[in-house]
Structure formats: structure tokens, C-alpha cells
Chain A
């Protein structure tokens, strides 16, 4: 129960902060909240809720999963309950945070683990699950959760499961495969790759049981919700009926409360931030000391590039981002500064995504490297113009979408498409001159420690010089091309 993977990386400092009133992170810093008694002393009493009561509260709040897909938790619970399996369900807490630009689940488990464990226990009691598996990749978080569990009166119901870190390890199917007891009677942590046939964990998950599998923050939000809100009046009626008639999308939009972000890139203070759902992006930029940015990546490396011009109008919620074709994903927000070569950043990350393929599926293991190679070639001067290469990349992005055991090719394709759309001007500069006179500053980091380090801080002078130089080049390119128009900006 307390097995922990050997440490593979040095401990990374993990700055946390908040805008407005913190809910999940409440009391952080005032006590060692890994200890159960300390947690209870500053939190509401532990509660057991009936199924109906919990579902009514979740429906009212519209709580959506915080792992990326934003699926309503109440719908997920109903699908576990209506499975009709004779086997007792499991609750599975997914804290396999494989995204380098995300550290929010790790922060929760390191600093306020009982918020997550309380929420998971509330769900387990409501759905009649005996066991709760907590799947964690971060070494420090494994230690914190093991200590946290040991201090709880209900420790026997938790199992802390270390998982090898990998980008695709947190995919639900991969996690189920990794956690299921193998023929040797042990949970196999080595095989965290997505299975060929998609089966919903709520239908058949770990050990063949129905699983309520969700992201760590989602369970933390359950604890906050149950601790803060009185029972809604119409509780019992609404909850016992079969699947909700509200569509998942509509339900997700009513989500309120807070949201965890991991804000990195061209900022003075990178870190994990608890914000009110729907916070203006500009307010987040101010809180972390964002430097002048040319674009922002929302939702991490399976997410969406957006031009900085949108910075002032965007709000961070499912509804606020849906209009621009983005979603909060798992809450990773990356500012791409004006001093970096964004095309080189894009190229580097796409190469990394290709390397992170589990190499199980042909379209992903051949397609992503081909896409990465195409993007890399856009960095070089091309007398004939970038259009043909750009079109080939976009066409390959279309080809790989939907053709894998998991959504890795889809996410990578979305990242590339939106990136090339936002960086059309840079693509033109590189085709003409082979450079935009900026270097890759590593704003899109490939490791958590790099993402959270503050060494990116450049002097303002160096920054404006690089930006000016690029602007001058850009003006030159526009006059040369007779008004620009590289023919790629329209593709999304």
C-alpha cells in the first residue's frame, strides 16, 4: 500500500497561488495539511452522502471532470450505477499528470491530499464502492499521499498506486490496463498504454469492475462542493431518475466554483493557480506577471494556440473558450512571449509529441513524426514559399485524427493546426529568410521542472529588442509579398 517508485527526477519546487478566495487550497501554508487531524481541524466534518443527495448537488453545480475532457461527473456516476454489474465498483483517482505544462494535480496531492481523498471517499460511499485506487506518477506526491492515507481512520480502503510517468499513461484506458491485477497477482505499472478496443471504465474498468475514474482535481472539487453547499431542495427526486436529460455540453457550461490552472511560459511567477471559473485571462496574466506575449496556448500540448489579440477578451471556462474553438482542458495555460521564435517552439513540442507516441498504432507512429518533420522544415528558407509544406502538414494532421487507440494523434493534430493558423506570419518570415531573428526561448517546456523554473526572466531591454527586430522583419516581409497572405491562416 505504500510502495513508491524510485525517484527519477529531482524535487521540483511547486509554487501555488490563487485569485480571489481559494477553496481547494484553503488553509495551505497555515498547517501541514498532509496530516489528517490538521486537515479536519480546518475543514468541515467528514460526511456521508446518499447517492441521490450527491447526484443532486453535482447536477446543481454542473461539476465537470478536470482531466481535460470536461465530462459531467454526475453523468459518469450514473453510468457506473446503471451498469448492472454484479461486481462492486472501484473509485479510481487519476493523478497521472503526464503533461509537462501541468502540475495542478501534483500540487493538490502534495499539499492538500485530503481534499482529494475526502472527495473520493464521498463518491465511494455514495456509489457503494469499497476500494479507492489513487494512481500517481509524481514521486513527492506518492510520498505525501501515502503519509496522508496512513493518517486517516479509513486508510484500509485506499490503495496508492505508483505509475510510470509517460504522456499517454493518464489516458483512462491505459490507466485501467496499468492498474488491473495481472496473472502474477500484482498491479502492473509497466503497461500504461491505451488498449486497442475502447471500453469505458464506468462499464468495465480495473479488474473488470465498473470504475468511477476521474481526475484528482475533480474529486477535490467534490469535497469542496459537499463541504460548502447545503443540500439542494429537490434532491431525491432528480437524482434517482435514469441518465440526465441535460446534454453533457449544456451541463458542463453551468460549472461554477473554482478551477486549477498551471500557468507557465513567459511569466515572472510560473505555478499552479486556483481561480474562479470563468476568470478573465487578462487577470491571470497580471497575477503571474506575464511578459508581452504573441500568443497563448490553452489546454497544454493537446490544446489550442490563440493569438495574443484575444488575450483581453477571453475568459477561462468551458463556455468562455468554446467560442474560439478551445477548451480549458486540464488547465494548462502557456504564455508565448514576443521574444521567442514561436515556430521553433511549436516544432520542438510537435517533435516531442511524436516521440511520446506509444508506437502501438500505425497512423500515430508514422504520422506524428512525418508531421513533426514537416513543421521543422517550415523553419528553413523555402524559395517556393511555405504553402505546399504547410498544406501537407495540415492534411496529415487531418489523416491521423480519430485513427488511434487513444486521442494522442487527435490532440497533437489540434495543437499543430491551431499553431500554424496563429503563426502564419512567422511561417512566411521563415520561408523568406529562414529566420524570424528570434531564438527558441523554451517557453513551451518539455519537463515540469523547466516549466516551473523562473530562469526565463529576461531583461526588459533584451525582450523589446528581440520583439522590435521581429516586427521590422515582419514589415519587410509584408511589403515584399505585397500584403502578406501566406495562405495558411484560415485553417483550423
Chain B
């Protein structure tokens, strides 16, 4: 495709560097990450996670690691 447009429009990591990343081809919207990290991960209207990277940066590493290992689709990883 002629798809790759400037990177400027990609969702910025709101100041903070990315803490977690989603492999969107694996994510099935189980929602465990959002349950484990309320306030930092929300789900959209279809159940897929919306990551607030600056909020994630304030959470203990152990909480992030727990969410990563809880993902049933192996879609969540440390960025």
C-alpha cells in the first residue's frame, strides 16, 4: 500500500517513553490487562485495550510484569 504516512500521526506515548506494547495481531480483547491495571489501561467499545503510557510509568514494575504474564493471548509485552 501507499500507506506509510509520516510517523507524526501515530499515537504519541504522551511524553513518557512506552512502558507496555500490544501486538495487535494477537490481542483478542480478553481484558485482563485492563482489570489488572485499572486507570492505566482502559478498553475501547470493542473491548480492546487503550494504554496510557504516562500513567503506566507511575506503576510498580511488578504490576506491569503481572499484567504481561496474565495475557492469555501473549499479546502484551514490555516495550
Contact = CB atoms under 8 A, between A and B. Distances in A.
**Do chains A and B interact in one complex?**
yes
Given A401-B10, A403-B11, A405-B25, A362 B3 contact: no
B58 interface: no
A402 B6 CA distance: 12
A401 B28 CA distance: 18
B24 A363 contact: yes
A169 interface: yes
Nearest to B29: A362
A362 B29 CA distance: 8
A98 B9 contact: no
A254 to B, nearest CB: 16
A394 to B, nearest CB: 14
A410 B46 contact: no
Nearest to B48: A362
B3 A407 contact: yes
Contacts of B26: 196
A327 B1 contact: no
A102 interface: yes
A96 B22 CA distance: 27
Contacts of B50: 399, 403
A302 B1 contact: yes
Interface string B58-75: 000000000000000001
Contacts of A330: 2
A170 B10 contact: no
B2 A360 contact: no
Contact of A363 (B1, B2, B3, B46): B46
Interface residues of B, number: 25
B39 interface: no
Given A98-B1, A170-B2, A363-B24, A402 B29 contact: no
Interface stretch (A44-52, A65-73, A342-350, A483-491): A65-73
A168 B2 CA distance: 8
Contacts of B25: 194-196, 360-361, 405
Interface string A408-446: 101100100000000000000000000000000000000
Question: Which of the four size classes fits the interface of chain A?
Answer: 35 or more
Nearest to A303: B5
B24 A167 contact: no
Given A402-B10, A403-B11, A302 B27 contact: no
**Interface SS of B by simple majority:** loop
B56 to A, nearest CB: 15
Interface string A149-180: 00000000000000000111111100000000
A98 B24 contact: no
Nearest to B46: A366
A403 B24 contact: yes
Nearest to A299: B5
B28 A362 contact: yes
A97 B46 contact: no
A403 B3 CA distance: 15
Contact of A196 (B1, B10, B24, B29): B24
Contacts of B6: 69-70, 327
A405 B45 CA distance: 19
Given A399-B50, A403-B48, A361 B27 contact: yes
A329 interface: yes
A367 B10 CA distance: 16
Contacts of B7: 69
A406 interface: yes
Interface in B11-52: 11, 22-29, 44-48, 50
A407 B75 CA distance: 18
A303 B10 CA distance: 14
Contact of B5 (A169, A362, A414): A414
Interface in A93-109: 96-99, 102
B47 A168 contact: no
A408 B1 contact: yes
Contacts of A407: 3-5, 9-10
B46 A367 contact: yes
A300 interface: yes
Given A98-B1, A363-B24, A403-B24, 7 more contacts: A69-B5, A96-B1, A98-B3, A196-B24, A196-B26, A196-B75, A406-B3
